[in-house]
Amino acid sequence: MIKLLAEDRGVVLFGLFAAGVYLFLYAPVLTMVALSFNDSISIGLPWNRFTMRWYEETLQNTAALDAFLNSLKLGVVVSVLSTTLGLGVALASRRAFRGRGIVLNSLIMPLLIPGIVLAVGQVTLWNMAGLGRSLWGTVVLGHLVYCVPFAFLNIFPRVHRFDPDIETAAADLGARPWTVFVTILLPRIMPGIVASLLFCFTLSFDEFTRTLFLIGPQNTLPIYFWSNVLSDPSPATSAIATMSMLFSLATVGAGLLILRSIRRFGDSAGAN
């Protein structure tokens, strides 16, 4: 009886601790979402009344929409390029070669360097090279340095676990290298590729520090949000942040559905 009471007390304490952690993590987000519906000219209390005014203004704000579209297109371009480069390195590193460890460690080294340090180094290098700062130049290059290691880390485990003897057998039966890659290897590593695309897109879409140093006259959504908070803080900024968060969550949800469909297709193909 005493043991059961002690276990119940432990469960209760653990539940309270977990609830406190979740409250600490999500209370600021929930506060921001709630205040985006407050009919007030300032961010904060008192609560006046419920309104959708700030969302209507945001959807009619051409500058905010342009910044969102820039972030969207940038995220797509960076995710595709990062995944392509990460896939190429993952495939090249399947077999042992001299300096393989140095190459792989060098690839993930940017993950250990503070983002602001890389951003300052990159903007200095581009200035020395005479390359003007722009969304589709310096920002894309800066985001690639940031995202390619994540793409590689998502794809490499899938590639590494694949048995190369299967490819050898297909080649012995007359399959060309491209046919082997498309019909045998690619379907089995597709979950890693989709995960890489999804992860790199969200990283690029939400990236602020590197973008701030490398961007030119254009705006991305994080940069627009930052400048709006500094110049004209209002519940409209909370509405922008809420919609950005919902878009990111929807992107992640869509990616998870795609991954689940790929796994189901792979399981059914393997069963057949």
- Beta partners for 50? 38
Residue type at 32? M
- The token duo for 271 is 């069963």
Tokens standing for 182? 């498309």
Residues 199, 217: Cα–Cα separation, whole Å: 27
Residue 106, token pair as written in the block: 């060098």
pLDDT at site 270: 46
Q: Which residue has the tokens 């310096």?
A: 138
The answer to whether 156 and 92 have CB atoms below 8 angstroms apart is no
* 201 vs 270, residue with greater confidence: 201
pLDDT attached to residue 63: 87
How far, in Å, CA of 79 to CA of 151, rounded? 8
**Burial letters for 178-205: b for 16+ Cβ neighbours within 10 Å, e otherwise?**
eebeeebbeebbbbbbbbbbbbbbbbbb
Q: What percent of the chain has pLDDT over 70?
A: 89
Could you list the residue range(s) of the whole structural domain that residue 79 is in? 62-271
In a domain, 66, yes or no: yes
138 lies in some domain? yes
* Residue 25 within a domain: no
Question: Can you tell me the distance from the alpha carbon of 5 to that of 12, in angstroms, rounded to the nearest whole number?
Answer: 10
Total tally of structural domains belonging to the chain? 1
Residue 162 DSSP one-character state:
S
Task: Calculate mean pLDDT across residues 107-132.
Answer: 84
With a cut of 50, say whether residue 143 has pLDDT above it: yes
Note the pLDDT tens digit of each residue in 47-102: 788 888 888 888 888 888 899 999 999 999 999 999 999 998 888 887 777 777 78
In degrees and rounded to multiples of 5, residue 38 shows phi and psi of: -90, 130
- Report residue 25 as tokens: 């993590």
Neighbours of 79 (CB within 10 A): 23
For the domain that residue 258 is a member of, what is the CATH number? 1.10.3720.10
Averaged pLDDT score across all residues of the chain:
81
Residue 48 belongs to some domain of the structure: no
Residue 38 β-bridge partners: 50
- For residue 18, being part of any structural domain is answered with no
Lowest model confidence (mean pLDDT) among 45-49, 105-109, 170-174, 215-219: 170-174
Q: Is residue 192 part of a domain?
A: yes
**Exposure string for 114-147, b = 16+ CB within 10 A, e = fewer:** ebeebbeebbeebeeeeeebebeebbbbbbbbbb
Position 44 in a domain? no
Does 21 map to a domain? no
